[in-house]
C-alpha cells in the first residue's frame, strides 16, 4: 500500500478497534475492488457509484467472501 493508504488504514483501525493487520489489502483484493468500482461507475453511468459500491462491499464482506460478492455484482451486467 502507498503511504496515504497505510495512514488511512491505521486511522480507521484506531477508531474502529480493528487490528490494522485485519485491514490489509492484498494485491488480489485491490484488483477486485478496482474492477468492481470501475464496473459500478461505467455500467451505472454514475461515477459516484464506485466508492459507494466499495462501501457496500466492505459492509457485506463481514458475511461473505469478497470474490463471491464481486461475482454477484459482475452478474448484474
Structure letter (DSSP) for residue 64 = S
Whether the per-residue pLDDT at 71 is higher than 90: the answer is yes
Contacts for 3 with CB less than 8 Å, ≥ 6 apart: none
Indicate the pLDDT class of residue 77, thresholds 50, 70 and 90. low
Domain ranges of the chain: 25-77
Q: What is the pLDDT of residues 3-56, one digit of tens each?
A: 999 999 999 999 999 999 999 999 999 999 999 999 999 999 999 999 999 999
Q: What is the pLDDT of residue 7?
A: 97
48-51: long-range pairs with CB below 8 Å, 24+: none
Q: What is the pLDDT of residues 43-66, one digit of tens each?
A: 999 999 999 999 999 999 988 999
Amino acid at each position: 500500500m502507498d503511504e496515504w493508504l497505510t495512514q488511512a488504514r491505521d486511522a480507521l483501525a484506531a477508531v474502529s478497534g480493528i487490528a490494522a493487520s485485519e485491514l490489509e489489502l492484498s494485491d488480489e483484493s485491490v484488483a477486485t475492488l478496482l474492477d468492481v468500482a470501475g464496473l459500478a461507475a461505467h455500467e451505472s453511468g454514475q461515477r459516484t457509484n464506485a466508492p459507494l459500491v466499495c462501501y457496500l462491499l466492505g459492509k457485506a464482506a463481514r458475511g461473505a467472501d469478497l470474490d463471491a460478492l464481486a461475482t454477484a455484482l459482475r452478474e448484474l451486467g
